[in-house]
Amino acid sequence: MDVDKLRSEQDTAPNRLRALAQNRIAIEGISAEIDGGRFAAKAIAGTPFLVEADIFGDGHDVIDAAVQWRKRDGDDWSEAPLSFIENDRWRGLVTFGEIGPWQISLVAWRDLFSTWRRDTKKKIAAGQQVSLELEEGRQLVEAAQRAAKAHHPGLAELCVQLAKATRDSELAEILLSRQAGQRMKEAGPRTNLSRSHHVIDVWTDRPAAAFSAWYELMPRSQTRDPLRHGKLADVIERLPYVRDLGFDVLYFPPIHPIGLTNRKGPNNALAAGPSDPGSPYAIGSKEGGHDAIHPELGTLADFDRLVGVANELGLEIALDFAIQCSPDHPWIKQHPEWFDWRPDGSLKFAENPPKKYEDIVNVHFYRDAIPGLWYQLRDVVLFWISHGVRIFRVDNPHTKPFPFWEWLIGEVRAIEPATIFLAEAFTRPKVMMRLAKLGFSQSYSYFTWRNTKRELEDYLSELIAGDARNVMRPNFFANTPDINPLYLQQSGRPGFRTRLVLAATLAGNYGIYNGFEICEAAAVPGKEEYLDSEKYQIRVWDMEQPGNIRDDIILINRLRREHPALRSFESLRFYNAWNDKILYYGKSDPAANSFLLFHVNLDPHEPQEADFEVPLWEFGLPDEASIEVEDLLHGNHFTWHGKRHRIRLEPNERPYAIWRLYPPGVPRP
Amino acid sequence: MDVDKLRSEQDTAPNRLRALAQNRIAIEGISAEIDGGRFAAKAIAGTPFLVEADIFGDGHDVIDAAVQWRKRDGDDWSEAPLSFIENDRWRGLVTFGEIGPWQISLVAWRDLFSTWRRDTKKKIAAGQQVSLELEEGRQLVEAAQRAAKAHHPGLAELCVQLAKATRDSELAEILLSRQAGQRMKEAGPRTNLSRSHHVIDVWTDRPAAAFSAWYELMPRSQTRDPLRHGKLADVIERLPYVRDLGFDVLYFPPIHPIGLTNRKGPNNALAAGPSDPGSPYAIGSKEGGHDAIHPELGTLADFDRLVGVANELGLEIALDFAIQCSPDHPWIKQHPEWFDWRPDGSLKFAENPPKKYEDIVNVHFYRDAIPGLWYQLRDVVLFWISHGVRIFRVDNPHTKPFPFWEWLIGEVRAIEPATIFLAEAFTRPKVMMRLAKLGFSQSYSYFTWRNTKRELEDYLSELIAGDARNVMRPNFFANTPDINPLYLQQSGRPGFRTRLVLAATLAGNYGIYNGFEICEAAAVPGKEEYLDSEKYQIRVWDMEQPGNIRDDIILINRLRREHPALRSFESLRFYNAWNDKILYYGKSDPAANSFLLFHVNLDPHEPQEADFEVPLWEFGLPDEASIEVEDLLHGNHFTWHGKRHRIRLEPNERPYAIWRLYPPGVPRP
């Protein structure tokens, strides 16, 4: 090897070297960077978004860091400081002002003046002579003044003070003052300014994407006579009931024309009788497909009226987006290339061998279905958006291609960024997470099958940590037309109250399917299916029947609206209550002085009691401190003295308790 | 919104849509992808490299996957299969044939024929009519035959067989045969072939990067008279001793000219006497700098001779790369722009306020030091490479800029890919990890301060998991000239044997600094510094003194060479021994039938005993099975019956035990 030859080549690329020398400060492990920047993180407009990263330089110099943000591909970056936490981790908050695509970038730099101050203070404390150091400090300030892009009055004044100072003691007093530190932080140079590797995308939604209470009903069951098909007009009559319960979103399974071929009968019977309505998921008939209304429900004009009345009442309508077709769907003749055909020329039905679903046909998404089908499906969504719908519950998205969803959600949001998509994917954890990363605003969850204290603590802890925290927003449905949970089949009324409180206070988004409020749990034996399911027949509901839990629903939905802590999913913390049947947790929004604690008896049969710890440490209080507390169920105020207390929860009287804490300095009402 | 208008625009970009529709199979969470592809993973030439990823498609179709690799930017990809493990995780092995830069990429696809076979078997088992299905299966094979890029005799034969089959039973037998499945796996189409988001870089080192035993000595102490400066010629005399101990690498602290200005005296005294040799880390004098040999050690010719003799003996020489300078270093006059100067024109010494290091000056790396200093430092490394050195222990890399290291290591390896860099960074965990990601081949570790069972299990578990597994290769030095561990100061001889065994069998790379073999532990009171440290004076060593642990060192280094399990750092597993003073672990290389177990008494003062579990389950054996075992310290063979056994380890006789297991099918010698 000829080292001299190498040496002669070395000066040809100094600028390349200068470029490589950039980013002297390491910025890595950024919490908002999902899969190396492949996917966008999610935020809520107007709500502070937490950004964390590992930031560190070489050596022992003081560094500083900030997070910057802008509208995607915009020009101007806004900036907020990052603060050191521990172990090289830094943290800051960004608030995105409006919905849509945003970007963040992290910057960090060496803060030479702070390093100088730290070291000079140590030398003075050790009694060392620091005349030269003080001169160096003066030069740092003067250089900052010369380099500042804009006039900074504080810096100018500092320079004037320094010019007048003649003795070391004067120089030291000026340079080591808090004011000089502050001014140099503001206006001093950012030496070795470094930037995070990627600009990171953050999709910002409206608040309803993260905080909403859903009620689900079948429009055709809004009738008092099982032989009379409920209509959209009947649903309009029903809206005040839903609103009075305190819900934000009213969601319908598909309302499109239902196919006749191989129509299912009650309880999923293979053959339907002549008056059986069929499954609303067998979409499409000669009356139309995904952009039509089932004629027995009414007309598009009825639907528009329904949306209008709902909006006036403060309710949003959510529709089902279920891509499968009945064998009678118009697309099958119009676009045979979107479907699978068998060697004998017949249509391939849906199946899960050896089970067959002969009332359903699936489209395929590739081959000649690109681009026609994709645009068609996008236009279905846009069609309902043009009729006032902004929320779509997507049926089984995990059985449709991932690239399709990423494209569809992007296309729709480019036109209507307020659109919310809820992924109804009950499948493996990584598949659910992928759908969330692709852009689904909300996700169905495993909540329905998480019943014990350990299961709930583990699952929730997983959801509020890691990438899930920035990507996946669970919607805790307590039941659905497809899920009549075993727990509720065996729990009676206390269990319904328990599961309601858990769903509504653990997650930001939650929902119930009608019948829950009257503790409906009759099941197909041995299954989590409802007996006489509305999926296959019209049901008449009496929501006034005794034993209903409407008071609980109204109370919980009111507390959700009144207490900012409940909007903050990520603030969830589990605390110690020494009984495995009592789940004990807290939520908080310190900026709004909102601190809540929850005790829930998970045992619907027996009273449970437990000692528990009041988390005084969260407020910097010692174990023997007192704290003011309000019982949000009964309204009384009192004081908890010390950390350890005891609670008893009786399933039939009080299966749960909710407390508001007033730490010192927070005014009581 | 005008949905019709959108519809009319939709056909303008079908190819864009087809491009977006690619990568239908999700490939994510790739173990070898470091920081989203920002850094290269590390592998060893000739050693299987484990690749894991989450791979899954939509729906329920069978998928398959493979890992591909090539030399960086090469044309031809090699390929190995990935296998499903659980929870959507897949795993495969890649073996890179030579050192240098490689790339991997993961591919996955829908396997329509396997899906067809799975479903058709279910239908047949359920007694369903499958004539149409069999026809579909035939068409899949025929389509594969038509689409195959190269002639595949097996596929052609399959088609001939199918053409002759007339009855369903014949078709079923052919299509569902193992042979048809195998042929379609080999030659069938890869539907929806998807590729991982990035091509991932993997830097491949020679084996010594991951598996080496280091011995450190000060050349100037290779003398029998403290007044006679040891020479490189003396070191040559010493080589057989080091080789006989079984070491691979002999490492010297800096061997360059030592400055006179502010030279340190014995025990770090501020003033040196006229005959004091000074610290070898105060590099540079009028005799030269980083590319010169300290005249009292000898000449460059002596060094070349030393390297030659060492290589003949199978020893590699490792040099220290310490960038700091003495105030007498030639660079200071030649390149004042590489140094910091104070307002009075004086040179800025190294300091850690209020401490001052007046025998040392640090270069700075930015401003006018780019590009000159960077090229100069690169050329220093290349200079020693041109003199036969391939291993550099880098002094305090964490106090030099990260971009500098990434550049320097890249430049050096482009010329000599066999170069190994050991990062001597005892600093915060994320900084150490960053240096490993930047390209350092090996890293000093916290091993020196991990003494208890819990500490060792936690630390090692961290090192063999996550990104650390693919990036950081620890080098477990049991002591260094800078670290005289408290544990060894208090442990006596048994503790030295214990720490030797831990260092040499837990990590792939380990080292000792001379004196360890004679249990030297005299300390500056209250510090982890050696008394009369060789850093500041010449010491004369008597390695023959009684109580030395050379037999242990020779034994352990021999076992490391003989047993492939010891080369496999990542195979480390901790097992149950019910005593907190007994560390119990195993290492294995199943391909080489090499299975070892280790018991180490961490208590240097008292005998310890414990029940322990023989990990029969690792070989699929039941708890009551028997297994053949060899005591590698004493050579005797016997049989362990059942899972539970007991061991006693006496600090002065046998502080450790090492066992080789012979599970069923593995021949005993």
Nearest CB partner across the interface for A375, out of B7, B128, B375 = B7
pLDDT of residue B2: 65
CB A382 within 8 A of CB B6: yes
CA distance A570 to chain B (A): 24
B355, closest residue in chain A (CA to CA): A123
At residue A10, the pLDDT reads 61
pTM for the predicted model, two decimal places: 0.96
> Chain B interface, mutation test: which of A3, A11, A383, most B Cβ atoms within 10 Å?
A3
Beta bridge partners of A316: A249
Cα B230 from Cα B236, distance rounded (Å): 11
CA distance B573 to B613: 13
What pLDDT does B7 receive? 61
Instruction: Mark A271-306 as b/e (b = at least 16 C-beta within 10 Å).
Output: ebeeebbbbbbbbbbeebbbbbbbebbbeeebbeeb
Q: Are strands A656-662 and A626-631 parallel, antiparallel or unpaired?
A: antiparallel
Beta carbons within 10 angstroms of residue B501's beta carbon: 25
User: B249 to each of B291, B315, B390, B564, how far by Cα in Å?
Assistant: 21, 5, 11, 19
Do the beta carbons of residue B403 and residue A21 sit within 8 Å?
Answer: yes
- At residue B6 the predicted structure's pLDDT band, cuts being 50, 70 and 90, is low
Q: Which DSSP category does B267 fall into?
A: G
- Distance between CA atoms of B450 and B403, rounded to whole angstroms? 31
Give yes or no for residue B83 having a pLDDT over 60. yes
Averages of pLDDT over runs of 10 residues in chain A (669 residues) are: 62 80 97 97 97 97 98 92 98 97 98 98 97 96 90 92 94 97 94 96 98 98 95 98 98 98 94 93 98 98 98 98 97 97 96 92 95 96 98 98 98 97 97 98 98 98 96 98 97 98 98 98 97 96 96 98 96 98 97 97 98 97 97 96 98 96 90
Question: What amino acid positions of A are annotated as catalytic residues?
Answer: 395, 424
Give me A509's structure tokens. Answer: 């988004």
Is B379 marked active-site?
A: no
Catalytic residue from among B216, B320, B359, B424: B424
pLDDT of residue B11: 58
Query: Which residue in chain A is spatially nearest to B374 when comparing CA positions?
Result: A17
Work out the minimum CA distance from B74 to partner chain A, whole angstroms. 24
B5 falls in which pLDDT band (50, 70, 90)? Answer: low
Which tokens sit at A615?
Answer: 């988390």
CA of B17, closest CA in chain A: separation in Å?
Answer: 7
The burial class, CB within 10 Å (0-12 / 13-18 / 19+), for B169 is: exposed
Q: What is the pLDDT of residue A75?
A: 85
Q: What is the pLDDT of residues B469-502, one digit of tens each?
A: 999 999 999 999 999 999 999 999 999 999 999 9
Residue among B636, B613, B614 at smallest CA distance from B627? B614
- Asked if A451 contacts A470 with a C-beta cutoff of 8 angstroms, the reply is no
Task: Flag if B1 and A382 touch (Cβ within 8 Å).
Answer: yes
> Which structure tokens are listed for B644?
């539970």
The answer to whether residues A285 and A329 touch, using CB atoms and an 8 Å cutoff, is yes
Q: Quick check: B604 and B492 in contact, CB under 8 A? A: yes
Residue B573 region by backbone torsions, left for phi larger than 0, else alpha for psi between -120 and 50, else beta: beta
Would you say A422 and A443 are in contact if contact means Cβ atoms under 8 Å apart?
A: yes
Q: What is the pLDDT of residues B331-381, one digit of tens each?
A: 999 999 999 999 999 999 999 999 999 999 999 999 999 999 999 999 999
Residues of chain A neighbouring B37 (CB-CB closer than 8 A): 36
How many residues does this entry show for chain B? 669
Give the pLDDT score at B150.
83
Nearest CB neighbour to B401, from listed A58, A128, A378: A58
DSSP E strands, A277-418 = 316-321, 350-352, 355-357, 391-395
Cα–Cα dist A346/B636, whole Å: 74
The phi-psi region of residue A534 (left if phi > 0; otherwise alpha if psi is between -120 and 50; otherwise beta) is alpha
Greatest pairwise CA separation for chain A in angstroms = 104
Four-residue CA torsion sign, B55, B57, B59, B63: negative
Tokens (6 digits) for B585: 């672990």
B22 min Cα distance to partner chain A (Å)? 7
Cβ <8 Å between A399 and B58? yes
Helix (H) or strand (E) holding B354: none
Pair A254, A283: CB distance under 8 Å: yes
| Residue B31: φ, ψ to 5° | -60, -30
Its sign, for the CA torsion A109, A72, A69, A29, is: negative
User: Contact B400/A58, CB-based, under 8 Å?
Assistant: yes
* Chain centre distance of CA B83: 24
Residue with the two structure tokens 């084996």: B207
- Checking if the pLDDT of B8 tops 90, the result is no
Burial grade of A208 (CB within 10 A; 0-12, 13-18, 19 or more): buried
What does the pLDDT read at residue A11? 58
**Residues in contact with A278: Cβ distance below 8 Å, sequence separation at least 6, in sequence order:** A258, A259, A260, A263, A264, A272, A359, A536
Token pair, residue A276, equals 């059986």
User: Cα dist. B271→A458, B256, B276, B278, B623 in Å?
Assistant: 62, 21, 9, 10, 67
CB contacts, 8 Å: B351 with chain A: 119
Question: Nearest CB to B430: which of A38, A56, A120?
Answer: A56
Report which of B370, B290, B369, B376 is spatially closest to residue B337, judged by C-alpha positions. Answer: B369
φ/ψ of B486, rounded to 5, equals: -50, -40
Over residues B525-548, mean pLDDT: 96
Q: Cβ A354–B125 below 8 Å, yes or no?
A: yes
The answer to whether the CB atoms of B1 and A192 lie below 8 A apart is: no
Q: A366 vs B403: CB contact, 8 Å cut-off?
A: no
The per-residue b/e assignment along B120-144, b for 16 or more CB within 10 angstroms, e otherwise, is beebbeeeeebeebbebbbebbeeb
The Cα A606–Cα A14 span in angstroms is: 77
Joined together, the tokens standing for residue B338 give: 């590489």
pLDDT surpasses 80 at B642: yes
Tell me which H or E stretch contains A121: helix A112-125
In the beta sheet, which residues pair with residue A318?
A251, A391
| A403/B24 Cβ within 8 A | yes
Who among A20, A354, A371 is closest to B122 (CB)?
A354
Task: For residue B407, give the amino acid letter.
Answer: W
For residue B611, give the DSSP letter: E
Residue A57 token pair: 């330089």
DSSP for A43-63 reads EETTS-EEEEEEEE-STT--E
d(CA A310, CA B564): 72
Token readout for A37 is 């920047």
For residue A207, give both structure tokens.
Answer: 């608040």
- Convert the pLDDT of each residue in B381-431 to its tens digit: 999 999 999 999 999 999 999 999 999 999 999 999 999 999 999 999 999
* End-to-end C-alpha distance for chain A, whole angstroms: 82
| Known active-site residue B9 | no
* Chain A environment of B398 (Cβ under 8 Å): 58-59
Return the percent helix, strand and coil in chain A, to nearest 5. 35, 25, 40
3-state class of B105 per DSSP? Answer: strand
**Nearest CB to A431 within list B56, B132, B344:** B56
Amino acid at A88: D
- How close B126 comes to chain A (CA, Å)? 6
Contacts 24+ apart (CB under 8 A), B561-566: B561/B246, B563/B594, B563/B596, B563/B632, B563/B660, B564/B589, B564/B591, B564/B592, B564/B594, B565/B589, B565/B592, B565/B594, B565/B595, B565/B596, B566/B211, B566/B505, B566/B508, B566/B596
Taking the C-alpha atoms of residue A336 and residue A331, their distance in angstroms, rounded to an integer, is 7
Q: Specify the residue for token string 């019956």.
A: B641
CB–CB of B17 and A125 under 8 A? no
User: How many A/B residue pairs have CB atoms within 8 Å?
Assistant: 216
Catalytic residue (choose from B320, B328, B359, B395) = B395
Is residue B51 within 8 Å of residue B91, measured between CB atoms? yes
Tokens of B325: 């300078």
Nearest chain A Cα to B33, which residue?
Answer: A36
Nearest by CB to A132, from B60, B132, B343: name it: B343
pLDDT digits (tens, 9 = 90+) for B255-290: 999 999 999 999 999 989 999 999 999 999 999 999
**What is the least distance, in Å, from the CA of B555 to any CA of chain A?**
39
pLDDT given at position B12: 61
Residue A403 to residue B434, Cβ atoms within 8 A: no
What pLDDT does residue B621 have?
A: 97
Question: Are A56 and B374 an interchain contact pair (Cβ–Cβ within 8 Å)?
Answer: no
The mean pLDDT value for B2-22 works out to 74
Judging by DSSP bridges, how do beta strands A420-424 and A442-443 pair with one another? parallel
CB contact under 8 A, A56 and B428: yes
CB within 8 Å: A14 and B415? no
Could you identify the residue written with the tokens 């709930």?
Answer: A456
CA distance A177 to A471: 44
| Beta carbons within 8 Å of B398's beta carbon, 6+ residues apart | A58, A59, B423, B425, B427, B431, B432, B435
Distance from CA of A508 to the nearest CA of B (A): 27
Question: Terminal CA-to-CA distance of chain B, rounded, Å?
Answer: 82
Q: Beta B26-28 vs B41-44: how paired, if at all?
A: unpaired
Backbone dihedral angles phi then psi of residue A20, each to the nearest 5 degrees = -65, -25
Query: Using CA of residue B165, residue B166, residue B170, residue B174, what is the dihedral sign?
Result: positive
